[in-house]
Amino acid sequence: MTSVTGFTLPPYPHDRLVEVRAIAERAEGGLVDASVGTPIDPMPEVVLRALAEAAPSAAGYPASIGSLRYRESAAAWIARRFEVDIPADAVMACVGTKELVASLPRALSLRIPERDTVLYPAISYPTYEMGARLAGLRAVPVPLDDRWSLDLARVDEADADRALVLWVNDPGNPTGTGCSAEDMAEVVSWARARGVIVASDECYAEFTWDEYGAPAAPVTALASGPRDVLAVHSLSKRSNMAGLRAGFVAGDADLVAYLGELRKHSGLMVPAPVQAAAAAALDDDAHVDEQRERYARRRVLAVEGLAAAGLHHNGGTSTFYLWLRAVEGGEDGWSIARRLADAGLLVAPGDLYGEGGAKHVRVSLTVTDDALERVLGRLAGAAAH
């Protein structure tokens, strides 16, 4: 047998939950899975209709960069949601965004080989770090401040000089934190001053609320102009289309064109009916308003209900995640997760997103209202005993 000396893959983050999942499965009343951000509410009618109507268009190969219709709908949505104008030819389709997040550092390093470092938030979606490692690049976490926002002043200038790209995720998974438009502008100018590309993952931009729970305007890195900025957007969360795999990237026209060509060579394509469905989804805001209300309702219910388990949310006000820690003591996230699993609630221990999250758990509000009420009732019952 040949010995393996190459890259050893770490365990997939959520696969580490096997034992805690088994506890939750044994709970009376069964498992309620709040550990992953996979939407469970229905796909909008407009999407289903467009998908069915466009099914015959799958006979031929779709354009890798995406149809003009899809790219125009994306640009029009950006204009409505963020009040930023981006031409359709500075928009490119991707097959959901996880593949883009995982492959972007490699793609950018082919273009800019003299830079070898990827900066990413120290507590964040694990694929930012993974994309750097898959590209053979240095993955350097950016420290967060006490509100879970990037603290760029603490980045070593030597790392900044070597940085190819800085990942930003606003509002962010797993902490739910969003920054102000001014803060985002500062992040972009920090990066530009150092020749670093900003990859701004804005996939939760439809689920933004203020501290009173009222819908709030989202921020985008594109507000600082498209130069050296790539905004990454997904239909998965916005329109409950995770299984269809549709996303797009918008921003710097030269970078988008380069990535588009590279992806054409690689054979990456979003199926034409999926593009049609995604365009129809982007043209419609009514289903997003409904979804936003669902998550807002569950957020209030879950924050109150989890308080009965001695947990308090100390993340931000946006996304569909709660970021919780024990009110008393420094209980470890795995211990909290086991405790909740005893009542059937499966959550993600915070260290899956970075060491600094070790005392937290992330609860995803992608569970039905019924299931949420049921499991919170069980936790309240357990607390009363």
Ligand X SMILES: Cc1ncc(COP(=O)(O)O)c(C=O)c1O
Which residues contact ligand X by CB under 6 A?
37, 96-98, 101, 125, 169, 173, 201, 203, 234, 236, 242, 247
Q: Map residue 247 onto helix, strand or coil.
A: strand
Pick 130 or 326: Cβ nearer ligand X: 130
**What's the token pair of residue 259?**
């990535």
Q: Is 113 helix (H, G, I), strand (E, B) or coil?
A: coil
Query: In terms of DSSP H, where are the helices of the chain?
Result: 18-26, 45-54, 68-82, 98-111, 127-134, 157-162, 181-193, 235-238, 253-266, 272-283, 286-307, 333-342, 369-384
Q: Which is nearer to ligand X, 94 or 135 (CB)?
A: 94
- Phi, psi angle pair for 220, to nearest 5°: -140, 145
**Closest CB to ligand X among residues 133, 338:** 133
Whole-number minimum distance, CB 63 to ligand X, in Å?
19
Which of residues 14 and 80 has its CB atom nearest to ligand X in the complex? 14
Q: How far apart are CB 229 and ligand X at their closest, in Å?
A: 16
* Least CB distance to ligand X at residue 179 (A): 15
Nearer to ligand X, 117 or 173 (CB): 173
CB of 173 to ligand X, least distance (A): 4
- Residue carrying structure tokens 């569909």: 320
Distance CA 320, CA 24 (A): 21
**319 vs 339, beta carbon nearer ligand X:** 319
Nearer to ligand X, 170 or 332 (CB): 170
Closest CA relative to residue 274, chosen from 1, 50, 7, 10: 50
Q: Label residue 373 exposed, middle or buried (CB < 10 Å: 0-12, 13-18, 19+).
A: middle
Contact 278, 139 (CB under 8 A): no
| Cβ 171 to ligand X shortest distance, Å | 9
Least Å from the CB of residue 26 to ligand X: 27
Question: Does residue 174 have a cis bond before it (omega within 30 degrees)?
Answer: yes
Between 165 and 309, name the residue whose CB sits nearer to ligand X.
Answer: 165
How many Å is the maximal CA-CA distance in the chain? 62
Residue 300 CB, nearest distance to ligand X (Å)? 22
The C-alpha atoms of residue 56 and residue 307 are separated, in whole angstroms, by 51
Minimum CB–partner distance for residue 98 and ligand X (Å): 3
Residue 225 DSSP symbol:
-
